[in-house]
Structure 1
Amino acid sequence: MSERGVRATQQCREYATIKGVTSPQTSTGTRFKSGFACFIGRPNVGKSTLMNALVGTKVAITSSKPQTTRRTIRGIVHRPDAQLVIVDTPGLHKPRTLLGERLDSLVRSTLGEVDVIGFCVPANEQVGPGDRFIAAELAQVKRTPIVAMVTKTDLATHQQVAEQLLKVSRLGEWADVVPCSAESNFQLDVVGDVLVDRLPEGMPLYPEGELTDEPEQIMVAELIREAALEGVRDELPHSIAVVVEEMKAREGRDDLVDVHAWLYVERPSQKGIVIGPKGARLKDVGTRARIQIEALLGSKVYLDLRIKVAKDWQRDPKQLRRLGFYD
């Protein structure tokens, strides 16, 4: 979890302790539960899609490209009996760049700050070295319950799902093993129940109706990056970063927000790929991103996108800090 996220978690729980707050009873007579779960898995196993489905709205960007998630993003699930805060993490893998090392460190720090861990393995792909690597890492986590979740069951046959459940159950010692699909809503209620069962009793940590604690400016930058990821070559997703330089309501207008953002790439050739022939691809990125941003902000948006080359930014500590990836 990020430093900001860890601090917020501690503050929520410390406040309840100081005030002597106890868990309220639900309508069924049980005690209300609240706490944190994190989803972990190799890149592109459906962690963000699953979190969005459980929250009931889009709070994390998704893409068919691996390593889409670069931050710990928290989505809040409100239930009559519990408040479940899901922390979506970047895919855990053996890092090849300084950025990769920092994302890897981010995932590991998150594991020690949550109440339950969801280990995601897709039903439609073979269990591979990446899954075994993560299972071995999770074996070192002694006190936090781990639920194995076989995702994307809508893309597999019943036989494949059954075989995958058996293979995943053999990867480690799990508190539970659950097949599910975010796309078809298969067993999402079961996933929620299994995770909530492992939470401690406690007061809600966030106000009713709040679905994420991500700043709007960060979410806007992520929506732009999501749009930029579509239709580019395989090597580009890792090289694209987005920073929103300015976002404010236009003077004299309460129905229009001006957003000025930079897309950063590592090489001049990548800049040409993002722009596309006669600027067609960049225009398409802007159109698709603007639609998503307007839905997020509930307002009309003027989106100004510009591209800049930041040579080898994934390996440069100074540039990583400038782009928001801290030690």
Structure 2
Amino acid sequence: MLGLWVVIALALVFNYTNGFHDAANAVATAVSTRALPLRWALAMGAAMNLIGALLSTGVAVTVADGVIAPPNGGTGLAVVLAAVVGAIVWNIATWYFGLPSSSSHALIGGLVGAAIASASQVHWAGVVDKVIIPMVVSPLVGLVLGYLVMTGVLWAFRRGNAHRVRRGFRHAQIVSAAALALGHGLQDAQKSMGVIVLALAVTGVYHGSGVPLWVVLSCAGAMAAGSYSGGLRVMRTLGRRVFPMTPPHGFAAELSGAAVLYVTAFAWAAPISTTHVITTAIMGVGATRRPSAVRWGIAGDIVTGWVLTLPAAAVVAAVVYWPASLVLG
């Protein structure tokens, strides 16, 4: 039973690290364009993360049932423990270097790596359908949608007074940033919910098909706390180094990112990355000025982090599984 509580605690720690890592993604544009002061932006992001986490559990069910099938008992608990540790290690490493990688894919990579190390079943069809395909498609959609929305904004306000337009979009960006933070809570808080449900299931403590309310509330609270603590290193990368944004740019990027998050959560129940979507949306928005306005070298570094996330977290989880299995198996 102690092992179960350790896994639950680590899952909440992961959610906290997810919050301070990915909170930057949700509010970076609003801060960089001065639509909101830093602490106000983080407080708003934390509140919207909390609300978003309470709206749906579809992604949580996908994580709990659609990725791996560990055995019951101590071995299964060791798999879940190793997966969470792998994700936390990768989250902290990428946060330290200011690299906006995906917490979602770190967790999925950890689950798959630990499952392979333990010879547990991996639902490869589910990994491809719910992880790999969305991982590729959602950033592309974010890129194209960001470009199209910004093009529409430029056309609609082409005769407007530049000062008034910027001031108006600075206010509008508060709404779009809140929408993006809501989508982040809707997506990312559910990953840890799924892990906790998986741990409860393999230990025989829970046999239901949904997510217990206490799991929802604890994960939502952990993410909100992490979000408020912020992630300035990642925020500088997204808010300033990819593309120098104005309020209309920030509004278009946030609106595009939020739309992708909502559709994938409610219609697909796929655990996609807020980081991937908002970063490519920023690139798409920036490309409307001119392609050279986007610092593609920085974007290349970010993409490298994306590519490394799944295998790196998987390797860490596989290494952690062996000592964990000795203790819990």
TM-score exceeds 0.5: no
The TM-score bracket by the shorter chain reads: under 0.3
Larger radius of gyration: 1
Higher strand share: 1
Select the structure with the greater relative contact order (CA < 8 A; seq sep ≥ 6). 2
Normalised by the size of structure 2, how large is the TM-score?
A: 0.23
